[in-house]
Amino acid sequence: MKFNAIAQASLAMLAWSCAQGANASDFRFNQCNMNTGNNSDTIRYVVPLGDFYVPRDVPVGTVIGQAFQGKSVDSPGGMSIYCNRDKWESPELANPVFLSEVIALGRPYTGPLPSVGRDLTGKVFETSVEGVGIALEFSNPYFGPRAGDFYTPTRLAPFSSTNYFPNQPVGPSLRFMGVFALLVKTGNIPAGTHTIAPDILFEANMLPGVPKAYTVATTGTVRQAQCTLSSNNPDLDKPVDLGEWSTDDFSGPGSFTPSQSFVINLQDCESNPGNDRFGFATAHVTLNGTDGSTIIDRDIGLFSLDSSATARGVGIQVLKNDGATPVTLGAPFPVIRIAPSGNTRMEFSARLYQLPDGTPLRAGTTKGALNFTVSYL
């Protein structure tokens, strides 16, 4: 009886050991496993994108900041996933093809897309900031084709990827998350500073083993680069005095008087204080005639006198601040990069210009009027 009891106890112990061994092998080998010991856990990544400035008037579909700027973040709490295929430890298990499917949870953007050397169709998603979309290109562990990586024809999420290297003991692993981020203007962005909320954009599995391996959210700030233009701007309340001149001061068509400077003062400016890759805004001005003044030659900045002027044979030429280079009329032209804060002075000059069509000169008053529109591009 004693022998039987011992035999039964030994057999029971052996059965328990085999059961434990099978469970351990199933967990450890030929599948992906969370280092927490619970494959139902999920790594929740929140990738910080940084601060971005976007000039107010750039068109929809424009890249905000640097295209595909690399960012990475460690997993919270040191969580990680390892995919092992040590078949020699579990010869009864077939070598798996490891799979990872990155699924989009965000709302796709269907408008115009920038040309960035990649097909962005179905890859740009709206963020919590009105008018700002995002695309993410994943890095680790999707570099492939290498033993430790998933392989996919595109790493722009969403995508599906595979890994099959039967002669290697390990498969892909994941701890830190690396992405290359692209922000796109998808509509009008309200004025002010906006924070991208860490809404989950993508979730992914790593199979077999971890059905919801990780999620990815992003955060950052977006600011519009622009200035204001006060209606009581002192630089605009008085006309530009071009002086008094005799008809003898002109030598023929294309001759002109000395230029006189004037300023348009932009106030309360806000723009990127960093470097040019991240969204500097340039003030552009569009000049059009008003009160009877019309454009005579847009390329040399020449417009006509207004309907109240009595002089003949001359117009007014608008120049850049060097007093010699004509501005282009009727279309936006770049003037100056706006200051990171405070005021920005846009300096110009103007002069009387004898008309090139040979209209006879006649003394009188010379008045002209232009409307200007400032845009930030």
Cα separation of 132 and 219, whole Å? 12
Identify the three-state secondary structure at position 210: strand
| Residue 20 domain flag | no
**What average pLDDT does the chain have?**
87
The C-alpha torsion from 303 through 304 and 307 to 310, rounded to 10°, is: 140
What 3-state class would DSSP assign to 129? coil
Q: What is the widest separation between alpha-carbon atoms in the chain?
A: 138
Q: Are 135 and 180 in contact (CB under 8 A)?
A: no
In a domain, 356, yes or no: yes
Residue 211 lies in a domain: yes
Tell which residue, 223, 196, 75, has the closest CA to residue 136: 196
**Structure confidence by residue, pLDDT tens digits, 280-328:** 899 999 999 999 999 999 999 999 999 999 999 999 999 999 999 999 9
Q: Hey, CA dihedral for 271, 272, 275, 277, is it positive or negative? A: negative
Q: Are 174 and 300 found together in one domain?
A: no
For 128, which DSSP code?
S
Q: Which of 194, 225, 256 is the endpoint of a domain?
A: 225
Looking at residue 208, its amino acid is P
Residue 85: pLDDT over 90: no
- Which pLDDT tens digit goes with each residue over 196-205? 999 999 999 9
Q: Are 145 and 259 in a shared domain?
A: no
For residues 74 and 172, state if they share a domain: yes
Is the confidence at residue 77, as pLDDT, over 80? yes
Q: From 58, 367, 92, 143, select the one nearest 239 (Cα to Cα).
A: 367
Verify cis geometry, omega within 30 degrees of 0, for the bond prior to 153: no
Same domain, 359 and 215: no
Q: Are residues 147 and 123 in contact, defined by beta-carbon separation less than 8 angstroms? A: no
Q: What end-to-end distance do the CA atoms of the chain give, in Å?
A: 95
pLDDT of residue 28: 64
Helix then strand then coil, % of the chain, to nearest 5: 10, 45, 45
Question: Across residues 261-278, what is the average pLDDT?
Answer: 82
- 6 belongs to a structural domain: no
Q: Which of 183, 198, 225 is the last residue of a domain?
A: 225
Domain match, 259 and 208 both = no
Token output for 333: 């032209």
Which domain does 296 fall in, by range? 229-376
Same domain, 75 and 205: yes
Shared domain for 251 and 212, answered yes or no, is: no
Residue 185 lies in a domain: yes
| Same domain flag for 239 and 148 | no
Dihedral sign computed on CA atoms, order 199, 205, 211, 214: negative
Q: Quick check: is 12 in a domain?
A: no
In this structure, is residue 22 part of a structural domain?
no
Which of helix, strand or coil describes residue 363? coil
Q: What is the DSSP string of 13-50?
A: HHHHHHHHHHHHHHHHSSEEEETTS-TT--EEEEEEEE
pLDDT of residue 9: 32
Phi, psi angle pair for 13, to nearest 5°: -65, -40
d(CA 187, CA 192): 15
Whether residue 318 sits in one domain with residue 258: yes
Q: Are residues 86 and 217 in the same domain?
A: yes
Domain boundary residue, one of 199, 225, 251 = 225
pLDDT of 123-174, one tens digit each? Answer: 999 999 999 999 999 998 998 777 789 999 999 999 999 998 776 777 899 9
**If you average pLDDT over residues 39-43, what whole number do you get?**
97
Residue (of 338, 351, 173) closest to 256 by Cα position: 351
pLDDT per position as a tens digit, 316-360 = 999 999 999 999 999 999 999 999 888 999 999 999 999 999 999
Across 56-112, where does the E strand assignment appear? Answer: 63-73, 81-84, 98-104
The amino acid occupying position 115 is S
**Least confident among 28-32, 51-55, 133-137:** 28-32
Does 29 fall in a domain?
no
Whether residue 243 is found in the same domain as residue 109 = no
Question: Distance between CA atoms of 122 and 185, rounded to whole angstroms?
Answer: 15
Provide the CATH number for the domain around residue 124: 2.60.40.3310
Whether 19 shows a pLDDT value over 80: the answer reads no
Rounded distance between C-alpha atoms, residue 256 and residue 250, angstroms: 6
Claim to verify: residue 236 and residue 356 sit in the same structural domain: yes
pLDDT band at 15 (very low <50, low <70, confident <90, very high): very low
Going by pLDDT thresholds of 50, 70 and 90, the confidence category of residue 230 is low
- Of 92 and 108, the one with more pLDDT: 108
Find the DSSP H helices in the chain: 2-28
Looking at residue 312, what DSSP letter applies? Answer: B
134 or 24, which is more confident?
Answer: 134
Tokens 């804060």, residue located: 341
Range of lowest pLDDT (87-91, 174-178, 247-251): 87-91
Binned at pLDDT 50, 70 and 90, residue 11 comes out as very low
Query: Can you tell me the distance from the alpha carbon of 309 to that of 355, in angstroms, rounded to the nearest whole number?
Result: 15
Q: Point out which residues pair with 204 in neighbouring strands.
A: 102, 214
Backbone angles phi, psi at 323, to 5 degrees: 75, 10
Domains: count for the chain: 2
Look up the CATH number of the domain holding residue 365. 2.60.40.1090
Beta bridge pairs of residue 237: none
Paired residues of 282 in beta bridges: 337
For residue 208 the two structure tokens come to 């077999």
